[in-house]
A = this chain, B = another copy of it.
Amino acid sequence: MPRPSMREHLIEAAHDRFHEHGFNGIGIKDITDTAGTPKGSFYNHFDSKEAMAVEVMRRYAESRGMDMLADTSVPPVERIRGHFAYLMADLERYDYARGCMFGNFGAELSTQSPTVRDEVGSRLGRWASALASALDEARAAGALASGVDTAVLARFLVSAWEGAAMQAKVVRGSAPLDDFFTVFDSLTA
């Protein structure tokens, strides 16, 4: 197996450091130190810290269980619930301290970086679309109690999840996510 490249090492290091401490809380030297590479190596691989944040979000997106939402072997409501349970398990792994990287970057960087803001918008938009498709299937199967338009409901669930992940960071516990599931269950049949 080939060894991961220095670029990959840097992305992995930045993924962890950004997720825990935010963008402005971490310097390029923190990232290169964590990766065990010289500080000067950073600009051989990335144009800017922002460009690296975009790469880190791509990596993060791959671990969001998006494929679960399209898995038609599972009934749609169960599938959506399973997807959120998967995300919750990921938050639990770090004692709820890290939150969702998309939401963290959206909150911290939307005024500072149009590049990061666009990437967060695009990631959250794709997520809401995948959710809306699964909600359409749920409605067709008579499994939605809510009568709200599925595109609206999907975007709302993304907001509610992002807010719950933020509050879970604040209280360092699962309660805000438990609340999310309670309301989600009331919206489905």
Contact = CB atoms under 8 A, between A and B. Distances in A.
Given A24-B25, A110-B170, A182 B156 contact: yes
B166 A183 contact: no
Interface in A143-179: 146-149, 152-153, 155-156, 158-164, 166-167, 169-172, 175-176, 179
A32 interface: no
B179 A106 contact: no
A122 to B, nearest CB: 10
Contact of A186 (B147, B166, B171): B147
Contacts of A111: 20-22, 25, 97-98, 169
* Number of copies of chain A assembled together: 2
A103 interface: yes
B97 A170 contact: no
A103 B107 contact: yes
24 contacts: A20-B111, A21-B112, A22-B107, A24-B25, A97-B110, A97-B111, A98-B111, A108-B108, A110-B169, A117-B170, A117-B172, A121-B171, A147-B186, A148-B183, A152-B182, A156-B179, A156-B182, A159-B166, A159-B167, A159-B176, A159-B180, A160-B160, A163-B163, A163-B164
